[in-house]
Amino acid sequence: MPSGMESLYQLQTLPLFVASEGNLRLPLGLNLYGELNITRLENITCRLEKFILWGNSTDAKSAKLHIKKNLESLGLYWEWSSANVGNAFPGLKKLTIKSCPKLAHIPFPQSLQHLELRNCNPTMEFVADLSLLYVLILDKIPDLVYLRKGLFASASLSSLKILSCPKLHSMPSEMQNLSSLKSLTIRWCEELSSLPQSLQNLKALESLEISGCGKLTSLPDGGIAGLASLRTLSIENCSELTSLSSSLEQLTLLEDLTIMDCPKLGSFPAGVQNLSSLRSLMVLNCPWFDLLPEGLQNVKTLHCLEISSCDNLTALPEWFEDLASLRSLTIYDCPNLTLLPRGFKLLTKLQHLSIQECPELEERCRQGCSEDWSKIAHVLHKYIGSPQVRGWRSEHIGKALLSKYLLTKKLLFHCHCHQQAIIIMLSLLDSHHLTSTEGRTTALFARPVGLPQSLSGNLSNTLPSSSRVGTKS
């Protein structure tokens, strides 16, 4: 830009400004209106927020755009090429690119450790050495069919999330190169039909979550067996999944297992007794689930068990008393479960018990002279009995809100499993608090029993937007 620009104090419109080496020199008193586009920002060598936005009262190099009250549109542009990409933002560690569906080419700085691509061009070409990349998130890329090999070149990658990519049909075998990967999350990739056998080479993987993959029919046998470090496995909303890997039994470090909304999954694989580190088991909304796997009686580390919306479950096994380490048990919406096993009273470490939406079992567990009260009297924290809102799932709230409710319960349940001092018992309030007006449903949920007020406030933010948090008396 011409010299002397800093003296134009009466200037009000400046659609384009080219940054010169090391400074902008926009006058502090400049009252700009409308649109401002600043190009060639690759010339700037100091931190962007200091140089362009804030600065200080004596910093002539700062544009101090935060005091331009009448500015309506601001564009910031860098011109990168293969020749200068190594010098652009040499210290940049985190980059988020959002809603740029036409961006086809971008050179990434070599220092990048955290990259998020949200609603971007699926054919985007990467010019970079991503060897230092630590976190990669791909979110809402509707036309993404396959993943480019360049994304799997970083041996440092520790966390990979692939979210809402409905046309992604497979994962590349090059995943085996991610030797440092600890967390893999795949959600709402409806066309994903299989996972590669090379999954078994992810020796460092500790957490695997697969959710909303409607065409996934099974987990690779060999692929699961090699996950020697896996501690958390969550399979949710996979409507065509018919079997878990038979090598699940080799996951000897697995601590948390969640299976939710998998209606075609026939049963647990054999060898559950080998899950010698299992602490938490959750089975939610799985109609096929009619009995606990027999091998579970040999898992002496199990602390938390939750069974929800499993209509075919009719009884808990007589060996249930062998779960000597069990501290929390939640049974929800299992209407055909009618009684507790005789040895239930031998579960002396059980501290929290919740039984809801199980009419006959609730009646047998009511305080006083009911048949099963003596079996549960020793449990310190009990929540027995359902609010009188029969049929609320389908007639008043609907499946969508039920799913949100179960997800909320899942969050609270895991919180309890890892903080034993907190009592987590989430329940609906009385039916007169559940109303529907002009097609809009309002559901009110109770605050977890015994939860400290400060923590309850934080957890209440996880409830559906139509919910309110109250206190159980």
**Residue predicted with more confidence, 93 or 150:** 93
Burial 94-118 (b: 16+ CB within 10 A, else e): eeebeeeeeeeebbbbbebbebbbb
Q: pLDDT value at position 373?
A: 93
Residue 335 pLDDT more than 50?
yes
Query: For the segment 432-441, what is each residue's pLDDT rounded down to a tens digit?
Result: 333 333 333 3
Q: Kindly state whether residues 140 and 10 are assigned to the same domain.
A: no
Both 67 and 95 in one domain: the answer is no
pLDDT over 90 (residue 189): yes
Domains in the chain: how many in total?
3
Calculate ∠ Cα 37-38-44, nearest 5°: 165
What does the pLDDT read at residue 56? Answer: 45
What pLDDT was estimated at residue 254?
96
- Write the DSSP string, 278-335: --EEEEES-TT--S--GGGGG-TT--EEEEES-TT-----GGGGG-TT--EEEEES-T
106 and 198 both lie in a single domain: yes
Average pLDDT over residues 425-452: 34
Would 439 be classed as within a structural domain? yes
pLDDT recorded at residue 16: 80
- Dist. CA 289–CA 281, nearest whole Å: 13
The lowest-confidence range among 177-191, 313-327, 411-425 is: 411-425
Q: Say what the pLDDT of residue 4 is.
A: 62
Mean pLDDT on 91-111: 80
Block residue for tokens 């069919």: 145
Cα separation, 407 vs 198, in Å, equals 31
pLDDT at 368 over 80: no
Half-sphere exposure at residue 67, Cβ-oriented, CA atoms within 13 angstroms: 13
pLDDT value of residue 22: 57
pLDDT band of 367, cuts 50, 70, 90: confident
CA atoms of 435 and 392, how far apart (whole Å)? 10
Q: What is the pLDDT of residues 206-252, one digit of tens each?
A: 999 999 999 999 888 777 888 999 999 999 999 999 888 778 889 99
Lowest-confidence region among 132-141, 287-296, 422-431: 422-431
Q: What confidence score (pLDDT) does residue 130 get?
A: 80
Identify the band that residue 427 occupies on the pLDDT scale cut at 50, 70 and 90. very low
Q: Which residue has the higher pLDDT, 13 or 61?
A: 13
pLDDT of residue 311: 92
Q: What does the pLDDT read at residue 88?
A: 58
Distance CA 392, CA 432 (A): 12
Last-in-domain residue among 231, 251, 285: 231
Predicted pLDDT of residue 410: 47
Last-in-domain residue among 231, 250, 267: 231
Polymer length in residues for the chain = 473
Residue 405 forms part of a structural domain: no
214 lies in some domain: yes
The answer to the question of residue 341 being in a domain is: no
Q: CA dihedral defined by 264, 235, 404, 293, rounded to 10 degrees?
A: 70
Whether residues 51 and 106 share a domain: the answer is no
Predicted local confidence at residue 103, as pLDDT: 78
* Same domain, residue pair 60 and 126: no
Question: Is pLDDT of 27 > 70?
Answer: no
Q: Is the pLDDT score of 457 beyond 80?
A: no
Task: Please count the CA atoms within 13 angstroms of the CA of 13 that sit on its side-chain side.
Answer: 2
In a domain, residue 447? The reply is yes
Domain CATH number, residue 227: 3.80.10.10
Same-domain check for residues 142 and 208: yes
Domain final position from 163, 197, 231: 231
Inside any domain, residue 269: no
Q: Give the rounded percent of residues in the chain with a pLDDT score beyond 70.
A: 67
Report the pLDDT value the prediction gives residue 89, as an integer from 0 to 100. Answer: 65
Whether residue 102 is found in the same domain as residue 216: yes
Cβ-contact 198, 222 below 8 angstroms = no
**Across 101-105, 322-326, 464-468, least confident range:** 464-468
Same-domain check for residues 16 and 61: yes
Residue 103 is part of which domain span? 91-231
Residues 211 and 119 in one domain: yes
Assess whether 48 and 133 both reside in one domain.
no
Among 163-167, 435-439, 453-457, where is mean pLDDT lowest?
435-439
Across the range 393-420, mean pLDDT stands at 44
114 and 223 assigned to the same domain:
yes
Position 169 in a domain: yes
How far apart CA 109 and CA 277 sit, in angstroms, is 42
Q: What does DSSP say about strands 183-187 and 159-163: parallel, antiparallel, or unpaired? A: parallel
H helices, E strands: number in the chain: 7, 21
Per-residue pLDDT reduced to its tens digit, 261-320: 999 988 887 789 999 999 999 999 998 999 999 999 999 999 999 999 999 999 999 999
Per-residue model confidence (pLDDT) at position 411? 47
Using alpha carbons, select from 339, 377, 334, 375 the residue that is nearest to residue 356. 334
In a domain, residue 118? The reply is yes
- Maximum CA extent, the chain: 93
112 and 68 in a single domain? The answer is no
Most confidently modeled of 190-204, 213-227, 405-419?
190-204
Average pLDDT rounded to a whole number, residues 460-467: 38
